[in-house]
Copies of this chain bind each other. A is one copy, B any other.
Amino acid sequence: MAKSGWTVAIVGATGAVGGELMSVLAERSFPVKRLVALASERSAGSEVEFAGEPLKVAPLNDSSFEGVDLALFSAGAAVSEQYAPLAVRAGAVVVDNTSFFRMHADVPLVVPEVNPAAVDVHRGILANPNCSTIQAVVALAPLHGLAGLRRVVYSTYQSASGAGRQAMEELKDQTVALLSFRDPPVSRFPRRLAFDCIPQIDKFLDDGSTKEERKMVEETRKIFDLPGLAVVATCVRVPVFVGHAVAVFVEFDRSITLEAARAALRDAPGVVLTEDPTAYPTAVDAAGDDPVLVGRLRVDPSVPHGLAFWCVADNLRKGAATNAVQIAELLASRGRLAPQVH
């Protein structure tokens, strides 16, 4: 019996997010007829595992997307820039995990719990938001529905895995080096991360913010379709392997009680609320799982209609792979991942 389903390509199959994409596709029983694992020439030829079966990684090139229905990209912005249009031309729908297309006007930026209808109009490419943004907006969405977002202040605590698999290795190597009284190796981070926090993620922009901070501002606005929303962020890398945390301070347009906020978060899709005010989730709790864990919810008395909370999520899963697969599921269920004839 021929397998039914879609032919799915993973671009960046040997990376940290690539591995999670294959795990999540299998876990969620996404209907995969054939999986095409793609990576750079350097990684091609190695083996990955999909649904318990070993799979040879093919080199990414201009003909990689023949017969592909769905291409999940996670190999850096430059790779997406070059190859996503080729994938679309070959007939695939692209869900891109990089920042390259996110702010393009004709590219939907989708968090399925927040703006699912955004998948309905696309021109072949859909973008997966920034990891920290995804987890924050999943938690903000039910509160926005209650009282209207007025201003959001983000401070992040982002793990090494956001910089990739080798960055995680580097954090480990740095830690071992320091505990052994040796100089820590530094190549994947702007400086040593072990036993320190680095207030720089991605490049600096002209206004003194970083590109990561700019992403959180612009992507929050785009996902909520609130182009004038006041948002500010400080993004910080912390010596954690997997799982990002965000301290969020929100001002709302209308009054919002703690009880109403709790009830909304309790019922919100994709959210697990820690209701005990003396308990809270951390990155380690979130690692390996999909929900956005929310805790430390409290009134912020320093503004009218203010709340503060803390949220954590697995940046490789909900912050990347799981959200991308959810977008693919949405596309399929809404008939936007049309069956291709090859």
Contact = CB atoms under 8 A, between A and B. Distances in A.
Interface of A: 151-153, 155, 157, 172, 175-176, 179, 191-192, 195-200, 204, 207-209, 217, 230-232, 234, 236, 238-241, 243, 245, 247, 249, 258, 277-278, 280, 282-284, 295-303, 306, 308, 310
A147 to B, nearest CB: 17
B302 A230 contact: yes
A172 B178 CA distance: 11
Contacts of A295: 199
A232 B308 contact: yes
Given A230-B303, A232-B306, A247-B155, A240 B195 contact: yes
A240 B194 CA distance: 8
Contact of A197 (B204, B282, B298, B300): B282
Contacts of A172: 179
Given A232-B301, A302-B230, A240 B197 contact: yes
A198 to B, nearest CB: 6
A257 to B, nearest CB: 13
A200 B302 contact: no
Contacts of A296: 199, 208, 234
Contacts of A247: 155, 199, 234, 236
A295 B197 CA distance: 13
B302 A153 contact: yes
